[in-house]
């Protein structure tokens, strides 16, 4: 095997023979780092390939498939997100910011799986005593869980071969290193090689593998994108800062849909699934009308989430009024403010406006639009929005109200939660079939909403 020095972009994985300040591929600055690369012969390359490639061409209809037996973890939120459970040999990447609760979630999943399966938990981040301290707090004491604190991938492979587990957890991919490579742990080359070793090890044995990974400040997976290609399932663990509610979103899922989300809250004894999301959000609000508050049902996957939108418009003390959005896209809000100025005649240029989603979730459902507009109108005009009003529509730049998908499900949920009036774009008969106690205010222009709020 021959060695050569290359410069690898830590952002996109581009390889250059010489160092330069900017990556020629992705345009990022200061991302090229020196790494030693082995030049493999064809034979070696074949030995290191991911899967056993078949030597002959077969008919798809005649080829044998692996039966997808789902192995449920028993954690309801986690199973639904995965499409019913785990599949043998599934490789899952769990990514999230430090401190979000990845290790906690994994220990809980390990505990649930260890009822029937053998779990090997490898940590390169914490010592045995730290992990057992956390396990004690979580009440995890299953004898089927094996711990190993190790960062050398070759030793990890050895212990997998000795223990022969059904489930492997690696916490985290950025801490492990391959001794044949000189670059430090966490660099693109190391992450790629270590992940490739894991794929080679776990796939043929059918080991269910979880790989934990950190994300950078801007929310991207630290290390190469290539990691996402190599695994079957990528889950992102996310929250707004300092909030108890955590969202687990699949970014890629070879065995299920990516439109489901898992909702958890961090408690004193670990993560708890939030089964009834609507009620969780609803209890945060008293049953009274408030200025600047409007409700909507944002759809996350197949589940409508009761969402409280808050807006505050206050006189500005700056030459340029401030616009702040938390949990929603600021550009979307700016567009809605412009539409409100133009089509409703609200004067916003002398006001700072803050828009926030209560509960600390980040959402991008277009159904939020009307609720944002209602909250802003309410705060500017100092008129409270009745607590049993629901807003379910997209607002365009021309001030027109547009329908959002899955109205039937949203309306049913609004009715179930006890809302009395729903503002939306005109809906079809079949969509309002099951609506009995909810009055629909079908509007086509944003101005019609403004007229109700005075
Ligand atoms: P951790 O799982 O270590 O995060 P990660 O592996 O993603 O870096 O958990 C992080 C936070 O969760 C930590 O700040 C403490 C908190 N926590 C609780 O609030 N309750 C608990 O029972 C546990 C185990 C952790
Ligand atoms: Mg951790």
Name which residue sits closest to atom 23 of ligand 1, judged by CA: 270
Residue 102 near ligand 1, beta carbon < 6 Å: yes
pTM: 0.70
Q: Which two tokens stand for residue 76?
A: 């309801």
pLDDT category of residue 188 using cuts at 50, 70 and 90: confident
- Where residue 219 falls (left for φ over 0; alpha for ψ -120 to 50; beta otherwise) is left
Ligand 1 pocket test target in 101, 107, 111 with most atoms within 8 Å of CB: 101
Question: Cα(280)–Cα(265) distance, rounded to whole angstroms?
Answer: 10
3-state secondary structure string, 262-327?
A: EEEEEECCEEEECCCHHHHHHCCCCCCCEECEEEEEEEECCEEEEEEEEEEEEECCCCCCCEEEEC
- Take atom 21 of ligand 1 and give the residue whose Cα is closest: 270
pLDDT given for residue 230 in this prediction:
86
C-alpha 100/C-alpha 18 separation (Å) is: 38
C-alpha pair distances (Å), 402 with each of 13, 265, 408: 42, 34, 15
- Identify the bridge partners of residue 293 per DSSP, sorted by sequence position: 310
Ligand 1: residue whose CA is nearest its atom 25: 270
The number of helix segments (H) and strand segments (E) in the chain equals: 12, 23
Q: Secondary structure of the chain: what % helix, strand, coil (to 5)?
A: 30, 30, 40
**Nearest C-alpha to atom 14 of ligand 1 is from which residue?**
99
DSSP assignment of 386-431, as one string? Answer: PTTEEEE-EE-TTSBEE--S-HHHHHHHHHHTT--EEEES---TGG
Q: How confident is the model at residue 168 (pLDDT cuts 50, 70, 90)?
A: very high
Which pLDDT score, from 0 to 100, does residue 66 have? 60
Dist. CA 165 → ligand 1 center (Å): 25
Question: In the structure, what pLDDT confidence band is assigned to residue 58 with cuts at 50, 70 and 90?
Answer: confident
pLDDT over 70 percentage in the chain:
88
Please indicate whether residue 136, judged by its CB atom, sits closer than 6 Å to ligand 1. Answer: no
Structure tokens at 412: 């049913």
- For 216-247, letters b (16+ CB in 10 Å) and e give eeeeebbbbeebbebbbbbbbbbbbeeeebbb
Report the sign of the C-alpha dihedral through residues 34, 125, 165, 129, in that order. Answer: positive
Average the pLDDT over 356-367 and give the result: 84
The pLDDT of 318-340, averaged and rounded, is: 94
- Give the ligand with the smallest distance to the CA of 267: 1
- Confidence check: pLDDT of 172 > 80: yes
**pLDDT at 48 > cutoff 70:** no
Helix axes 330-343, 368-381, angle to 10 degrees: 60
d(CA 93, CA 230): 9
Helices 188-205 and 153-163 cross at an angle (nearest 10°) of 10
Q: Which residue has the higher pLDDT, 336 or 299?
A: 336
Phi and psi for 293 in degrees, rounded to 5? -125, 135
Residue 34 binned pLDDT confidence (cut-offs 50, 70, 90): confident
Q: Which atom, in ligand 1's list, is nearest to the CA of 96? A: 7
* 359 pocket-lining for ligand 1 (C-beta < 6 Å): no
What atom in ligand 1 is closest to the CA of residue 125?
A: 6
103 lines ligand 1 (CB under 6 A): yes
Is residue 63 helix, strand or coil? coil
Residues in Cβ contact with 10 at an 8 Å cutoff, skipping those fewer than 6 apart: 31, 32, 33, 187, 188, 223, 224
Distances (CA, A) of 453 to 292, 373, 389: 11, 11, 11
- Segment 263-283 shows an average pLDDT of 74
- Ligand 1 center to residue 134 CA distance, Å? 9
**Which residue's alpha carbon is at the smallest distance from atom 11 of ligand 1?**
99
Residue nearest atom 9 in ligand 1 by C-alpha distance: 101
Is 139 a pocket residue for ligand 1 (Cβ < 6 Å)?
A: no
Report the distance separating Cα 357 and Cα 295, nearest Å.
10
* Residue appearing with tokens 């700072």: 352
Does residue 46 register a pLDDT over 70?
A: no
Indicate which residue's Cα is closest to atom 10 of ligand 1.
99
The span from the CA of 131 to the CA of 148, in Å, is 10
Least distant ligand from the CA of 174: 2
Lowest mean pLDDT across 24-28, 45-49, 250-254: 45-49
Band the pLDDT of 337: cuts 50, 70, 90: very high
Contacts of 300 (CB under 8 A, 6+ apart): 247, 260, 261, 363, 365
From 222, 133, 126, 220, select the one nearest 169 (Cα to Cα): 126
Picking from 227, 234, 223, the residue whose alpha carbon sits closest to that of residue 258 is 234
Dihedral angle computed from the Cα positions of residues 441, 443, 446 and 447, in that order, rounded to the nearest 10 degrees:
-80
Judge if the beta carbon of residue 96 lies within 6 A of ligand 1.
yes
Q: In the 8-state DSSP scheme, what is residue 75?
A: -
Q: Report the pLDDT averaged over residues 183-192.
A: 83
409 lines ligand 1 (CB under 6 A): no
pLDDT tens readout for residues 285-327? 556 778 999 999 988 766 788 888 999 999 999 889 999 999 9
298 bridge partner residues: 305
pLDDT at 391: 96
Q: Using CA positions, which residue lies closest to atom 2 of ligand 1? A: 101
Residue 357 C-alpha to ligand 2 middle, in angstroms?
A: 28
Read off the tokens for 173: 């991919």
Alpha carbon distances (Å) from 311 to 187, 220, 289, 361? 43, 29, 14, 16
The closest ligand to the CA of 214 turns out to be 1
What's the gap in Å between 269 CA and the centre of ligand 1?
Answer: 10
Q: How far apart are the first and last CA of the chain?
A: 78
Q: Which of 94, 97, 100, 104 to mutate to test the pocket of ligand 1 (most atoms within 8 A of CB)?
A: 104
pLDDT band at residue 381 using 50, 70 and 90 as cut-offs:
very high
What pairing do the DSSP bridges indicate for beta strands 119-123 and 167-171? Answer: parallel
**Backbone CA torsion sign across 335, 336, 341, 347:** negative
Q: Which atom of ligand 1 is nearest to the CA of 106?
A: 2
Q: Is the pLDDT of residue 284 over 50?
A: no
Sign of the Cα torsion 37, 38, 41, 42 reads negative
Q: Does the beta carbon of 124 sit less than 6 angstroms from any atom of ligand 1?
A: no
Give the integer Cα–Cα distance in Å for 335 and 23. 34
pLDDT by residue (tens digit) across 112-147? Answer: 999 999 999 999 999 999 999 999 999 998 999 999
Q: Is the CB of 100 under 6 A from ligand 1?
A: yes
- Which ligand has an atom closest to residue 97 CA? 1
Q: Could you tell which of 266, 267, 271, 272 is best to mutate to test the pocket of ligand 1, judged by most ligand atoms within 8 Å of the CB? A: 266
């Amino acid at each position: 095997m021959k060695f050569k020095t290359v410069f690898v972009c830590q952002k996109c994985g581009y390889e250059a023979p010489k160092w330069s300040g900017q990556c020629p591929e992705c345009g990022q600055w200061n991302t090229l780092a020196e790494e030693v690369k082995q030049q493999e012969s064809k034979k070696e390359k074949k030995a290191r390939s991911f899967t056993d490639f078949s030597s002959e061409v077969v008919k798809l209809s005649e080829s044998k498939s692996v039966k997808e037996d789902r192995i449920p973890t028993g954690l309801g939120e986690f199973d639904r997100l995965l499409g019913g459970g785990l599949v043998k040999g599934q490789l899952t990447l769990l990514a999230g910011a430090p401190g979000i609760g990845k290790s906690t979630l994994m220990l809980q999943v390990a505990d649930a799986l260890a009822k029937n399966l053998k779990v090997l938990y490898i940590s390169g981040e914490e010592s045995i005593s730290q992990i057992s301290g956390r396990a004690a707090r979580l009440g995890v004491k299953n004898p089927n869980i094996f711990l190993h604190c190790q960062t050398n991938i070759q030793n990890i492979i050895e212990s997998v071969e000795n223990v022969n587990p059904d489930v492997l957890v690696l916490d985290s991919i950025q801490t492990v290193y391959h001794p044949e490579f000189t670059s430090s742990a966490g660099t693109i080359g190391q992450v790629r090689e270590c992940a490739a070793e894991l794929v080679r090890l776990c796939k043929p044995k059918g080991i269910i593998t979880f790989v934990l990974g950190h994300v950078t400040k801007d929310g991207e997976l630290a290390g190469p994108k290539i990691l996402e290609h190599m695994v079957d399932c990528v889950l992102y663990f996310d929250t707004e800062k300092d909030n108890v509610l955590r969202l687990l979103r699949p970014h890629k899922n070879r065995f299920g849909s990516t439109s489901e989300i898992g909702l958890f809250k961090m408690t004193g004894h670990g993560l708890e699934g939030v089964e009834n999301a609507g009620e969780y959000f609803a209890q945060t609000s008293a049953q009274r009308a408030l200025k600047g508050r409007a409700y909507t049902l944002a759809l996350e996957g197949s589940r409508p989430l009761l969402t409280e939108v808050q807006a505050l418009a206050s006189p500005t003390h700056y030459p340029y009024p401030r616009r702040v959005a938390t949990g929603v896209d600021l550009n979307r809000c700016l567009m809605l403010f412009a539409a409100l100025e133009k089509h409703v005649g609200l004067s916003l240029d002398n006001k700072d406006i803050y828009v926030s989603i209560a509960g600390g979730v980040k959402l991008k459902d277009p159904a939020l639009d009307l609720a944002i507009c209602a909250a802003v109108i309410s705060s500017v005009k100092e008129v409270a929005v009745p607590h049993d009003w629901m807003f379910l529509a997209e607002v365009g730049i021309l001030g027109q109200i547009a329908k959002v998908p899955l109205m039937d499900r949203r309306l049913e949920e609004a009715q179930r939660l006890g809302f009395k009036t729903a503002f939306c774009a005109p809906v079809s008969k079949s969509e309002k079939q099951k609506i009995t106690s909810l009055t629909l205010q079908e509007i086509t222009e944003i101005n019609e909403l403004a007229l109700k709020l005075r």
